[in-house]
Amino acid sequence: MATVLLPLPEDIARGARLLRAAQRIVAFTGAGVSTESGIPDFRSPGGIWSRYRPVLYHEFLGDPEARRRYWRMQRELYPTLAGAQPNAAHRALAALWELGRLDCVITQNIDALHQRAGCPPDCVIELHGNGTRVGCLQCGRTWPRAEVQPRLEAGEDDLRCEACGGLLKPTTVAFGQPMPERELREAQRRAAGCDLMLVIGSTLVVYPAADIPVCALEAGARLIIVNLSATPLDDRADVVLRGHAGPTMEALLAAPAARLEDPPSA
């Protein structure tokens, strides 16, 4: 069994006190949350991009061979995405929502596991899109990704919309594709309105998403970072919890200092 890293108890207690005092928490989640559900990291050594060359958005649009390469990768990766289950970090954030402490989750992940754990879809802001749906780039119609997998398994490798003939693509943000402006603006607005930003499982090096916690800091929010490795914002954080996302979040919510069932402390 792999070793589980947990922060020191005194650091957990400091984070728990910040949770207790917060009235409007915004969570920002990255790949370190998804990997604990068995979804491979894209960027780390040994991750997906070390095994597949990324297909740039303009290549996807203009090069049939690039699209075939892209869909071959998707055919292989989708069963892992479909079989993943929410972990303790997802469940902890859903519990914060149920307690009325969580304003929203802003996520870099594309797996929809926050929603499956119990966070309402309208409280999850997906900065990099959603890999569980496929959309037509021409007419805008969308389908569950599961409905497309049989076509890939049957040998199709340049998928087209059956209604209009347009290109199909998962509703994720590809390299070179613009970030969704509405989601980015909403994430910035919600970050600027929180009193505690809770970063979980992100190295905070992928921009412009990594600027979101900075929006919170500049508006006066406190900052907790839960991550296995250092981030560029560690020196600006109130508490840095160096540990695995799920076990650390479980310990944080269970700490006596949190008392999340009570009203926020002054």
> Which among 70, 41, 38, 28 has a CA at the least distance from the CA of 212?
28
Kindly list the strands in the beta sheet with 25-29, ordered across the sheet, starting from the edge strand earlier in the chain: 124-126, 102-107, 25-29, 196-200, 222-226, 239-241
Q: Cα 156 to the chain's mean position, in Å?
A: 29
Give the per-residue pLDDT at 1.
42
2 Rama class: left (phi>0) / alpha (psi -120 to 50) / beta: beta
Kindly list the strands in the beta sheet with 142-144, ordered across the sheet, starting from the edge strand earlier in the chain: 142-144, 129-136, 168-172
Q: Is position 58 annotated as part of the catalytic site? A: no
Measure CA of the first residue to CA of the last residue in the chain; give whole Å: 42
Give the per-residue pLDDT at 259.
86
Mention the CATH class of domain 1-39+86-128+179-266: alpha beta
- Of the candidates 58, 90, 114, 128, the residue annotated as catalytic is 128
169-216 residue pLDDT tens:
999 999 899 999 999 999 999 999 999 999 999 999 988 999 999 999
Q: What is the DSSP string of 57-92?
A: HHHHHH-HHHHHHHHHHHHHHHHHHHH----HHHHH
Cis before 208 (ω within 30): yes
204-235 residue pLDDT tens:
998 899 999 999 999 999 999 999 999 999 99
Site of tokens 């070390």 = 50
Give the per-residue pLDDT at 43.
60
d(CA 41, CA 47): 5
Domain boundaries, the chain: 1-39+86-128+179-266, 40-83+130-172
Chosen CATH of 40-83+130-172 out of 3.30.1600.10, 3.40.50.10240, 3.40.630.30, 3.20.20.70 = 3.30.1600.10
Structure tokens of 35? 């990997």
Mean pLDDT by 10 residues, the chain (266 residues): 83 96 97 94 61 88 96 93 97 97 97 98 97 97 96 95 96 93 97 98 93 97 97 98 98 91 72
Site of tokens 């508490």 = 239
Q: What is the pTM of this model?
A: 0.94
